[in-house]
Structure 1
Amino acid sequence: MRILIIGSKGMLGQACVKHFSKSHKVNVFDDRYSLENREVFAKLILEFDVDLIIHCVGKIPQLTSDEADLFHINAVMTMDIVNIIDENNIPFIYPSTDCVFNGHGPDDYYSKYQFQDCSNSYGTSKLLGEKIVLTSNNGYVVRVSIIGPDRRPSAQGLWNWVSNWPIGAVIDGFTNHTWNGITTLQWCKEIEKLFILGKPDRRLYQLGTAKRISKYNLIKLIASKLGKENTINEVSTAQNVNRSLIPDYYVQDIEIQIDEIVGNEDLL
């Protein structure tokens, strides 16, 4: 299969290139997308004879304080790309996030049919991106929170934060923030199963593990796997945060997922 990855330099894009290049022909589009280079992108689709597009470009609040940039990248850019893929009838995967929910509702899991009550610009921009993609007959949304290594010096993700803890630093971990996301490697494996080895039977997928884990226990688990010996304090915030999702099907336990990354030096 010929796979085009939009945005190969971010955390998810890196994982996609490494995973899919093993068995498929992969090309990337890393230019900052704009109306000016729209024709370049459209030409690449035709010349590479693309079978599947994975849209790994996305702005997160940790990397920008510009709300307009969040909406431009996560929604406006997505809208124009959707128009192009519809012209060429190519399946298009939009990675979304549990942040389309605010996490302050009942202490339960979110169904994909529940109202998306995001209360910040990042969640709203991703929700707009979802709605745009779902207007296309070729668009698919995969909604889940992801963690994984990121080789960029500017990386701000949870995994890199843990791996960069200085020796002796004392860390706080939230006991009342809960999560049931997956690793970037697991995300790629699920895409392979759903869209390459199989045939997608729905337009919106929610993924996740059967058991949720507190952020305290999550960073403690990652730290132990990476050989970090920092002291981690159990702390809580005034308000619980729980964005755990009801998955369409359960993926393997998060500890197994983390072990698969740690055991593969090429991914670190």
Structure 2
Amino acid sequence: MVEKIKKRVLITGSRGILGRALVERLKAKYKIAALTHKNCDITDSKKVAAIFARFKPEIVIHSAACTDVDECQRDPRKAYAVNAQGAVNIAKSCASLGAILIYISTDYVFSGKKKTPYRETDATGPLSIYAKSKLMAEKSVRRLVKRHIIVRTSWIFGKGRKGFLNNVLSWAKSKKRLKIVSDKYSSPTSADDLAAALDRIIIRMGGNGWKDRFFGTYHITSSGFCSWYGWARYALKNVKAKVRLEPIGMAQMGFAARRPPFSALDNSKYKKTFGIGLRPWQKAVKEYIKCVCN
């Protein structure tokens, strides 16, 4: 029996919340190159090109980024180097090898002025250095790589030390009162569910039914949306934490960077193209809490 040759998939940001989920999901199916900031400085074009030349990826999932929105505002040079120029370096290496690029972007490319979830065709309006650097990356990917998929997502949670949900669960163990922003809305998104959605895209790419028109931009998040306050309240209810939540506004937080007040994403294009959407954020959060608290 002839062993089937596994596709070569390169993942950047493999130690991040999404990166971890991707490696765990894909490692049995594909030959994986899991890159971190320690073994690949994406701001160094020569190092990126050398790694690509050795591994020769067929598909690249670029999830590495400087995601601390306030840090990006305080250090624009780093933000643009990592998020914008890093994406250019990855995109050029993909183009040179003919690799497909799946780029992970953000809901923050929108201004938040809408009252209904954003579609892929809606005008962008980034409010922060972080958002501007990610939008620059999107434009570079479109310009440099013909076969690309840009995935805008939001509020990713999963295994790891960082992230809003992990912080709330940790704070609840030692604090009696938490002040949580109540006027910022988006969609909590399970890293495991997002990894499964990206896997579904890769599987479809390998089938006879794949069309070049499927390349492009997709919004992929868990179904539904809420505020940070609503998310925290739901999570703490599920762990029966005895902590008092106080809603506050973004203006009271003293953030260095502006955030869009409403940046929920419309997932209908992904559902229509791939035949299935992600489950409601409440179900994903509840399952995650059971996993980490047991």
> TM-score scaled by structure 2?
0.79
Q: Secondary structure in 1 aligned to 2:220?
A: strand
Q: Are 2:27 and 1:21 aligned?
A: yes
Is there any run of 5+ residues in structure 2 with no aligned partner, and where?
Answer: 1-6, 252-258, 272-276
Deviation at 1:252, TM superposition (A): 0.9
Partner of 2:185: 178
Task: Between 161-170 and 109-118, report the one with greater CA deviation.
Answer: 161-170
Measure, in 1, the Cα distance between the counterparts of 2:78 and 2:283.
36
Measure, in 1, the Cα distance between the counterparts of 2:58 and 2:287.
28
Deviation per residue, 1:177-234 (Å, 9 max, x gap): 2212411111101101122245471310012344222221111222334553321123
Count of aligned positions: 261
Whether the 8 Å contact between 1:85 and 1:138 is mirrored in structure 2 is: no
Matches within 5 A, 1:165-204: 165=171, 166-198=173-205, 199=210, 201-204=214-217
Measure, in 1, the Cα distance between the counterparts of 2:24 and 2:66.
21
Q: Residues 19 and 228 from structure 1, CA distance in 2 versus in 1: closer, same or farther, beyond 3 angstroms?
A: farther
Q: Residues 41 and 117 from structure 1, CA distance in 2 versus in 1: closer, same or farther, beyond 3 angstroms?
A: closer
Partner of 1:141: 150
Partner of 1:116: 124
Partner of 2:12: 6
Partner of 2:164: 158
Deviation per residue, 1:124-167 (Å, 9 max, x gap): 00000111111221222100103213534xx3x21221122043
| Counterpart pick for 1:83 among 92, 117, 124 | 92
Q: Are 2:66 and 1:59 aligned?
A: yes
- Letter of the aligned partner of 2:8 in structure 1? R
| Counterpart pick for 2:261 among 236, 241, 249 | 241
Is there any run of 5+ residues in structure 1 with no aligned partner, and where?
Answer: none
Matches within 5 A, 1:246-261: 246-247=266-267, 248=269, 249=271, 250-261=277-288
Q: Residues 194 and 227 from structure 1, CA distance in 2 versus in 1: closer, same or farther, beyond 3 angstroms?
A: farther
Measure, in 1, the Cα distance between the counterparts of 2:77 and 2:260.
29
User: What value does the CA root-mean-square deviation take over the aligned residues?
Assistant: 2.6
Q: Percent sequence identity over matched residues?
A: 20
- Letter of the aligned partner of 2:34 in structure 1? V
Measure, in 1, the Cα distance between the counterparts of 2:238 and 2:25.
21
Measure, in 2, the Cα distance between the counterparts of 1:106 and 1:40.
41
Whether the 8 Å contact between 1:167 and 1:229 is mirrored in structure 2 is: no
Q: Residues 226 and 49 from structure 1, CA distance in 2 versus in 1: closer, same or farther, beyond 3 angstroms?
A: farther
